[in-house]
């Protein structure tokens, strides 16, 4: 069984962001980078499936500069067998249709039985790539999956809807599954597995070989939203802050009286 999991490297969302000189993206300096949170669930599910299916073979794909290999190594240490790195210095400027186009072009002749992606990325948050890949490959795609099971070529999943209701859905492989938070408990790579991962295949392919589609949209401008609320910001010593807050709660709410 052949499995593909697609991951993205994103900045830590607690970072202090700045807009870059071009004014259309955030500056990439002074940021801590990590695996997109949703993709951690995708990698874990793909690894679990590979472990379940004895003949499982799992490729992790990531598009980006040399730097994304760090994140790919984490996926390899979690249990992916090999890495397909698509070298692209300009990945942040690519819109979801192009990203999906690159992935579909990579996957088209490889007969993957299942393709996992995160349901969205934490930075762009477009939630498009997984389904676009499915459409491009002409196979079914299911989004927002919080439960996954696979048996005899049939995928049984639960999609999470608003309010915590789930839709129970099944589909025959091949298919694309986009993973939602809470799908599983992503494992921490162990030291021996981190060492083993260093020896795994990690091949780079220039993006030009796989990018066959044109951008359908672009970012005209990136900026900080105007601060809406005139909310009070309190800073300083913790004890003093507690006294200040109690005073405010007494004045502004009835909860302490």
Partner 1 sequence: MKILLIAESREGKLLGSCYELMAFAEKMAAETAMVLVGSDSALPRFAGKLYLADATAVGEYNPDAHKQLILDVVAKEQADMVVFSHSSYGWDLAPRIAFAMKAAQISEVVDVVDGTMVVPVCNAKLRRDVTVKTAKTVVTLQAGAFGLAEEPTAAPTVEPIRVEAGGKVRFTGYEQAEIGGVDLGKAKIIVSAGRGIGKPENVAMIAALAKALGGEYGASRPVVDSEWVEHNRQVGTTGQTVAPKLYIACGISGAIQHLAGMKKSEFIVAVNTDKDAPIGDVADVLVVADLKQFVPLLTEKIQAL
Ligand X SMILES: Cc1cc2nc3c(=O)[nH]c(=O)nc-3n(C[C@H](O)[C@H](O)[C@H](O)COP(=O)(O)OP(=O)(O)OC[C@H]3O[C@@H](n4cnc5c(N)ncnc54)[C@H](O)[C@@H]3O)c2cc1C
Query: Two tokens at 184?
Result: 């599983």
Burial class (CB in 10 A: 0-12, 13-18, 19+), 188: exposed
The one of ligand X, partner 1, none whose footprint includes residue 229, by CB under 5 to 8 A per kind, is partner 1
Q: Does 223 bind partner 1 (CB under 8 A)?
A: yes
Of 37, 52, 200, 199, whose CA–CA distance to 113 is shortest?
A: 52
What's the DSSP call for residue 188? P
163 binds, among partner 1, ligand X, none (CB under 5 to 8 A by kind): partner 1
How many residues line the site for partner 1 (CB under 8 A)? 81
Closest to 31 in 3D by CA, of 14, 47, 48: 14
Stretch 28-67: interaction string toward partner 1, x if CB under 8 A: ----------------------------------------
Site for ligand X in 172-231 (CB under 6 A): 181
Question: Who contacts 166 (Cβ-Cβ below 8 Å, separation ≥6)?
Answer: 146, 147, 158, 159, 160
Does the protein bind partner 1 through residue 27 (CB under 8 A)?
no
For 216, phi then psi, to 5°, come to: -105, -10
Question: Residue 100 CB, nearest distance to partner 1 (Å)?
Answer: 8
Tell me the closest approach of the beta carbon of residue 109 to partner 1, in angstroms: 20
CA distances from 241 to 64, 246, 255 (A): 44, 9, 18
The yes or no reply on residue 14 touching ligand X (CB under 6 A) is yes
Q: How far is the CB of 152 from partner 1 (least distance, A)?
A: 15
Which residue number places its CB atom closest to ligand X?
14
Residues of this chain that interact with ligand X (CB under 6 A) are 13-14, 181
């Amino acid at each position: 069984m052949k499995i593909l999991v697609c991951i993205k490297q994103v900045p830590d969302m607690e970072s202090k962001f700045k807009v870059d000189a071009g004014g259309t993206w955030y500056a990439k300096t002074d940021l801590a980078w990590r695996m997109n949170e949703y993709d951690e669930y995708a990698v874990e599910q793909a690894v679990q499936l590979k472990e379940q299916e004895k003949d499982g073979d799992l490729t992790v794909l990531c598009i980006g500069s040399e730097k994304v290999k760090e994140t790919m190594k984490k996926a390899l240490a979690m249990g992916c067998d090999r890495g397909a790195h698509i070298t692209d210095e300009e990945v942040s400027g690519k819109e979801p249709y192009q990203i999906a186009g690159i992935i579909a072009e990579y996957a088209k002749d490889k007969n993957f039985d299942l393709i996992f992606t995160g349901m969205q990325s934490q930075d762009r948050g477009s939630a498009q790539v997984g389904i676009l890949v499915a459409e491009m490959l002409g196979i079914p795609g299911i989004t927002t999956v919080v439960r996954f099971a696979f048996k005899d070529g049939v995928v049984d999943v639960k999609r999470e809807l608003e309010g915590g209701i789930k839709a129970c859905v099944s589909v025959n492989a091949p298919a694309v599954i986009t993973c939602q938070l809470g799908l599983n408990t992503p494992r921490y790579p162990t030291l021996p597995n981190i060492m083993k991962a260093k020896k795994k295949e990690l091949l780079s392919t220039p993006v030009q070989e796989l990018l066959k589609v044109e951008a359908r949209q672009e970012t005209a401008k990136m900026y900080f939203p105007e601060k809406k609320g005139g909310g009070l910001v309190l800073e300083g010593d913790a004890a003093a802050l507690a006294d200040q807050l109690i005073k405010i709660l007494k004045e502004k709410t009835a909860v302490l009286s």
